[in-house]
Amino acid sequence: MADPLVALACGLSAAFLFLLLFGLSVYLLWRKRRTQALYWGLIPATPTIPRCTTPVLQTSQSSSYGSGDVPFFVPPRFKRTPQPNEEKEEREYAEEWELHPDLHTQRGSVTVGSWFPLGSIRPDLYQLPEEPSEWALPDGSAVRLWFALRYQQEREQLVVSLLRAANLPGLCQGNVTLVKLQLLPSDDRRHRQAKARRKGCHPQFNDTFVFQVSNSCIDQCSLKMNMYTVVHQKKHHLIGQAMIPLRLSELKETAGKVQWRDLDSESDQPLSKNGDIQVSLNYNQSLHRLTVVVLRARGLQCCSDSGVCAQVSLKIHTHVVRNKWTTVAKGNNPSFNERLTFRLLPMQLDTACLTLQLQQPSTEEPVLLGIVVIGPFMYARGRELEHWNDMVSKPQELVRQWHPLGSADTLQELQ
């Protein structure tokens, strides 16, 4: 008797669940249909088109949209009548393009017009040369660089705009040209770098850089610009450099005017009184290794024919950590080409320096021919500070540079 009752109860329960699910499905389907009906009621069956225009493409207006389609039509095309003033501007722009085609290829930096693309130099901020002769090539083999300077006193910012260069040597014909800018004196090891927008002997840059410098310090600063060409194996070959002393009064007079400088090459640099020494530096932070390559010297005032050697000393604060010497080389322009290594921790880079002394061996005491100190802002300025900063910022290459030698009085001051 119990078994039939259990079966009846199970059947009733199953029927109740079926009816409940069926009712829920019908309710959801009705709700979906109602929502779709409200949505399609908001969309007109025929697209509205303004009377003054003609659509490019229009489907049949009498057909209604299906339930699964999205209404779509191509927007109308408006025809606009050019104004007389605009036609005049276009004619003037075309005439100017024919007269000065090169100026319009500089991405808006020196293009005379009312528009300029985003990220380019605004032409209305700079006074362009009035005559095409101002862009003339320099005489001889000198490399010329065009730029503009503007100092914003309220923001204490020096804005440097590099425009173009000309008369580069044949080595640069198929290579990338770079210009590195640095504000001296500065304890900032970083430098700004501009890359030419096209290869060749007459590259264009059209880059702008901002240096933060206070009004009280601007007269003591100089802007240094070095031009390089990237040769094989990504080595940077120095083409020339220019040092521009900054004066607030001159910056006000020449604000926004395009200027040019002929770059000085290594061969153009005059010899110092005691001679010069060429050194390459490299610092490997992971190995804590400072590498010094003494390459050669020139213009030495030798007292005898006993030869010349170089003593390289690593100093931290006032303590000499280690001294190393090269072999003896003969002549007033000796070549050494010797590599010396020192151990130096990264935390010691701001408190360490290198002292290079050129000496002539003697039976009694070595004769000092010249000395130079290369290091951070604590010890050095000018070329020596720049060389140290370049060494730290370029761990993948040997940074080479000439340095003028000081006299024996310099050594006494250091001690």
Structurally, how many domains does the chain consist of?
2
Determine the pLDDT at residue 270. 62
Residue 305 forms part of a structural domain? yes
Residue 241 forms part of a structural domain? yes
Same domain, 292 and 252: no
Q: In sequence order, what are the beta bridge partners of 354?
A: 314, 374
How open is the CA angle 372-374-375, to the nearest 5 degrees?
Answer: 150
Residue 381: burial class (beta carbons within 10 Å; 0-12, 13-18, 19+): exposed
Same domain, 256 and 279: no
Q: Detail the DSSP E strand segments found in 196-275.
A: 204-212, 222-230, 236-245, 258-262
Same domain, 360 and 298: yes
* Residue 393 CB neighbours (<10 A): 12
Determine the pLDDT at residue 349. 92
Residue 124 forms part of a structural domain? no
Same domain, 289 and 404: yes
Determine the pLDDT at residue 318. 86
Q: What's the domain range around 333?
A: 275-411
Same domain, 297 and 400: yes
Distance CA 87, CA 99 (A): 19
Same domain, 254 and 294: no
Look up residue 122 and give its DSSP letter. -
Residue 190 forms part of a structural domain? yes
Determine the pLDDT at residue 304. 77
* Residue 389 CB neighbours (<10 A): 21
Same domain, 171 and 297: no
Same domain, 196 and 287: no
Residue 3 forms part of a structural domain? no
* Residue 216 CB neighbours (<10 A): 9
Distance CA 127, CA 386 (A): 32
Q: Amino acid letter at 203?
A: P
Distance CA 371, CA 20 (A): 101
Distance CA 267, CA 276 (A): 12
Same domain, 280 and 362: yes
Q: What is the pTM of this model?
A: 0.46
* Residue 284 CB neighbours (<10 A): 13
Give 3-state DSSP helix, strand, coil % of the chain, rounded to 5: 25, 35, 40
Residue 335 forms part of a structural domain? yes
Distance CA 155, CA 150 (A): 12
Tokens of 41: 């009621």
Distance CA 306, CA 366 (A): 11
Determine the pLDDT at residue 59. 42
Q: pLDDT tens-digit profile of 378-393?
A: 898 888 998 998 899 8
* CATH number of the domain within which 209 lies: 2.60.40.150
* Residue 206 CB neighbours (<10 A): 20
**Residue at which a domain ends, from 265, 284, 306:** 265
Distance CA 400, CA 295 (A): 9
Same domain, 245 and 283: no
**Residue at which a domain ends, from 265, 291, 318:** 265
Residue 28 forms part of a structural domain? no
**Along the 415 residues of the chain, how does pLDDT read in single tens digits?**
567 788 888 888 888 888 888 888 888 888 888 877 776 666 555 555 555 444 444 444 444 444 455 555 555 555 555 555 555 555 655 555 454 444 444 333 333 333 334 444 554 455 544 444 456 666 667 788 889 999 998 888 899 998 888 888 877 777 888 898 888 776 555 678 888 877 778 888 888 999 888 888 888 888 888 888 887 767 777 888 888 888 888 888 888 888 888 887 765 556 678 888 989 899 999 999 999 999 888 888 877 777 889 999 999 988 999 999 999 888 888 888 888 999 999 999 999 999 999 988 877 788 888 899 999 988 988 889 989 988 998 887 888 888 999 876 655 555 5
CA 28 from centre of chain: 63
**Residue at which a domain ends, from 265, 290, 311:** 265
Same domain, 259 and 282: no
Residue 48 forms part of a structural domain? no
Distance CA 276, CA 403 (A): 5
CA 142 from centre of chain: 25
Same domain, 176 and 205: yes
Distance CA 405, CA 308 (A): 14
CB 299 within 8 A of CB 332: yes
